[in-house]
Structure 1
Amino acid sequence: MTATMETTRSVVVERDFPYPPEKIWRALTQPHLIAEWLMKNDFVPEAGRRFTLSADWGQVDCEVQTIEQHRSLAYRWDTKDLLSVVTWTLAPTNTGTNLRMEQRGFKAEQKAYYHGATVGWPRFIDQLAEVVAKLD
């Protein structure tokens, strides 16, 4: 019996910010700030911690996979039949920070989820930029 690797797709959004990684990190990991740009949540920045993101349309069940302060954060993003992982990577640049978000795990038949993510993530990151701009 051979196991076949099912190919999945990813949504990647990259953006340069004129702020240090520490500032963006706060917006990615503090629940009250996450609520401002993404969704209501009970996030705790700790590997293995489960948390929920909730919106009018439903909720996302998550679990922190890896966390490296000011550098990277990955969590499971499971909703209905979508099992995916969202990874945030922060890289310092001469002018601030390059932020990279990747959500991987979209199966070929999950076109609606994939389309939703390709449209949704750039909007969320626009909102993230607004939240970060207001931080001291």
Structure 2
Amino acid sequence: MSEIHIVRDYPHRPEMVWRAVTDPQLVPLWTATGAGARPEGFAPVVGTKFAFVAKPRPGWSGVVSCEVLEVRKPELLRFSWQDESGGAVTEVAYRIQAWGEGTRFIYDHTGFTGVGGLFMSKFLGSVRTKMLTKGLPAVLDDLDDQGSLRPDSSLRPHE
């Protein structure tokens, strides 16, 4: 079985990282360095079914169906992940830990099987690495103390 495991440290409080990865208005800003997915119907509540919607590409509708499986604010968000057209159900977990003066963010995406799963984990792994290395830090840097985008931010929420 293949998996994606990414660890990043950010000089921001865990509550700010939680906000950036769970606020439906902020998520598309840091995923823009990948496929630019926006969560539709998301709430950090166990049992919530939602979709990540990105720009369709040849062979992919751009929609991933998800369900929130576990929440421990501001430490853990775990959800299922399945391409809208079917296929294996995998799991994503965001783990957020106080680390020194900031936060350690651990991203795990597990459950990939077979040759197709290996290919998908490699592809998604490179995209997620970029999002967590470039996209998420940019959003975190533009949040004020209340977790809102600063008025002078060059980032804009997608409607």
TM-score by length of 1: 0.90
Task: Quote the Cα distance in structure 1 between the aligned partners of 2:101 and 2:76.
Answer: 19
Q: CA RMSD in A?
A: 1.1
- Alignment of 1:36 onto 2:29: yes
Helix, strand or coil at the partner of 1:19: coil
Q: Which residues of 2 match residues 75-94 of structure 1 at below 5 A?
A: 75-79=79-83, 80-94=86-100
Q: After alignment, is 54-63 or 15-24 more displaced?
A: 54-63
Q: Which residue of 2 aligns with 1:119?
A: 126
Q: Which amino acid letter does the alignment assign opposite residue 45 of structure 1?
A: P
Count of residue pairs brought into register by the alignment: 129
Structure 2: tracts of 5 or more residues without a match: 32-36, 57-61, 145-159
Q: Which residue of 2 aligns with 1:74?
A: 78
Q: Which residues of 2 match residues 1-136 of structure 1 at below 5 A?
A: 8-38=1-31, 39-42=37-40, 43-57=42-56, 58-79=62-83, 80-110=86-116, 111-125=118-132, 126-136=134-144
Helix, strand or coil at the partner of 1:31: coil
Q: Deviations over 1:77-122 (max 9, x none)?
A: 1114132100010110112010000000110222321121121111
Task: Quote the Cα distance in structure 1 between the aligned partners of 2:94 and 2:49.
Answer: 17
Structure 1: tracts of 5 or more residues without a match: 1-7
Percentage of pairs with the same residue: 26
TM-score by length of 2: 0.77
